[in-house]
Amino acid sequence: MRTALDYFLELIYFETTSDENSTTYPSSPGQIEILRHLVGLVEELGLETTLSDKYTLYGRLPANSPELADLPPLGFIAHVDTSPAASGKVNSHRYVTYTGEPIVINADLNLTLSAALFPELNKLVGHDLIIADGTSLLGADNKAGVAEILALFAYLQANPQIKHGPLRLAFTPDEEIGAGTRYFDLELFDAAMAVTVDGGLSPEISCETFNAAGAVVTVRGRSVHPGTAYKQMVNAATLAARFAASFDPLDTPEETRERQGFLHCGNICGDVTTATLNYIIRDFDPDNFTARKELMRRRVEEFNAKYARTDIDAPPPFSVEIKDQYLNMRSYIEREPTIMNLLDKAFAALGITQKLIPTRGGTDGARLSEMGLPCPNVFTGGGNFHGPYEYLSVQDMEQAVELLRQLVVAHANSVAL
């Protein structure tokens, strides 16, 4: 029987970085490659599979006991892409038993994994960690989740005496760029509830995400030869810098934590003629979320009032387009609490107390919960996602698989869903 670690080490060498500038879906060819590969792995485990024309992989396993056949199906979801924030081309990996001492990831690049920089490592002393070589991320987000789901079904296949209800599986592309559920087919998935296996360290689970929007601010300038530019040039690059500097410097990702929201300017590019600023807007509270979007619109109006040229024929220099990306899934899950109740039973069976945290980000489950599929997020055992400091705890990975097993048992034992 293959383990989650076996699957994980096979999958991380597929380069599956998503590309937010792509016009294709999925956004990168490596995602198509890995999903086609996963079809074979899932079929080996006895599931009926469908790879949709939009490259979401669905798997279905019927109940193995007649009295459980009518249970509302339980689903497991993970995504195959990795973040474009760092290279997804994994060149090598290695195991390190963490003793509490700093781990040199790459001496040439001066990359060291230490509890001084990442305090959560303090609870991983004695764990076996997997790391990459510092030239890429590791891919635990979210290939660890994919591997753990595969290991769950491998265990069920090897242990047919374990009774289970109808189970479902889905592997999605492009989650990291907010498009994982763009073409998700709820009817084809056919689950009444699900979990995304896309979290961090044990024993964290989450039924809450940010409310999220993206904003693109466009600045239009007027290019004139610098030698004759007096009172004629409108420098879009300069105005973009002033705009970015106008927001509270403490209202940023690097200065906020826990339940605090933020505005994040992730990219500025341009020249004298045109510049763009790409923001993400995040907040757990819906009123604060609305206020942040209004602040962005109001700031554009203020800058237009300040910098619009009335002495020459020119449109207002600033414009903004804001698009909602996903909403906090908490209210949707609270309306359908069955899956959280089952998770309570699964954790109790493991003898550990779950740590309920707000996810400072998004998951496929946020949008799926909004669409009517309650879908909290459970841990994978990974940490420091989206960069070269990423790692995976083998012990937490094994515990994640055991949690999924106990969730299947709790589902089978439920008498009134």
Q: Which residues are catalytic?
A: 81, 175
Instruction: Name 405's Cβ contacts closer than 8 Å, sequence gap at least 6.
Output: 152, 155, 162
Per DSSP, helices labelled H in 170-308 are: 186-189, 236-245, 286-307
**Cα separation of 44 and 42, whole Å?**
5
**Cα separation of 16 and 19, whole Å?**
9
Nearest to 385 by CA among 193, 162, 204, 188: 204
Give strand pairing partners of 206. 377
Cα–Cα distances in angstroms (integers) from residue 356 to residues 146, 152, 275, 404, in the given order:
22, 23, 41, 17
Nearest to 130 by CA among 211, 12, 235, 304: 12
CA geometry: angle 64, 67, 73, nearest 5 deg: 65
Instruction: Name 221's Cβ contacts closer than 8 Å, sequence gap at least 6.
Output: 233, 234, 235, 236, 237, 239, 271, 272, 273, 274, 275, 317
- 8 Å CB contact between 167 and 319: no
Based on the number of CB atoms within 10 Å of its own CB, is 117 exposed (0-12), middle (13-18) or buried (19 or more)? exposed
Which strands sit side by side in the sheet containing 193-197, from one edge to the other?
A: 48-51, 57-61, 167-172, 74-79, 193-197, 377-378, 204-206, 355-356
**Cα separation of 397 and 195, whole Å?**
16
Residue type, 335: R
Strands (E), 318-374: 318-326, 355-356
Nearest to 264 by CA among 292, 223, 285, 230: 292
Place of tokens 């939009």: 54
